[in-house]
Copies of this chain bind each other. A is one copy, B any other.
Amino acid sequence: MKGKSFLALFVGVSSLVCAFPSAAQFAKPEAAVEYRQSALYLMGNHFGRIKAQLDVSKPDLDVIRSSAALIDVLKTLPFEAFLPGTEDIGDTAAKPEVWTDNERFKKLAHEMQDKVSALNAAAKSGDVGAIRTAFGETGKACKNCHEDFRKKR
């Protein structure tokens, strides 16, 4: 039974070429939504872990470094999945503007990604002041995009 569902996953992925031609990496629109939400969730969780360290008198630099490195790895993933045909799917919080003003959406995504790179570099340096500055700028970049492109929950 489990072997069957294991196989079914593969068949689902492999057969997407017919079902969803613009996105070979997703079997169906719901998968794209879950993918982007998963990546953004992990990013948010680890951003919160950095914040928690910056809130205490002796930040654990190992926690900050590992979280910043992970966010840096994840930072482009969500944007593979805001595909045409994935608007209004499931519980997406994406506003229609993601697709109707896609150039600006991409611009803000790139700005966030640049700030995340800087945060990761600051984390590697171990300079708490620099980490704090880069953290604040990353938070602003997240917020800029959420304000225009994410529905209020």
- Chain A residues near B (Cβ < 8 Å): 1-3, 5-6, 9-10, 12-14, 24-27, 31, 34-35, 37-39, 41-42, 44-45, 48-49, 51-52, 55, 70, 73, 77, 139, 142-143, 146-147, 152-153
Contact = CB atoms under 8 A, between A and B. Distances in A.
A2 B51 contact: no
A25 B42 CA distance: 11
> What is the total number of copies of this protein in its complex?
2
Contacts of A34: 41
A13 B51 contact: yes
A6 B51 contact: no
Contact of A49 (B25, B51, B153): B25
A5 B143 CA distance: 10
7 contacts: A6-B146, A9-B48, A25-B48, A38-B39, A38-B41, A39-B42, A70-B73
A49 B1 contact: no
Given A5-B153, A41-B35, A52 B13 contact: yes
Contacts of A152: 1-2, 5
Contacts of A2: 143, 146-147, 152
A54 B73 CA distance: 24
A10 to B, nearest CB: 5
A66 to B, nearest CB: 10
Nearest to A9: B48
Given A143-B2, A143-B3, A25 B38 contact: no
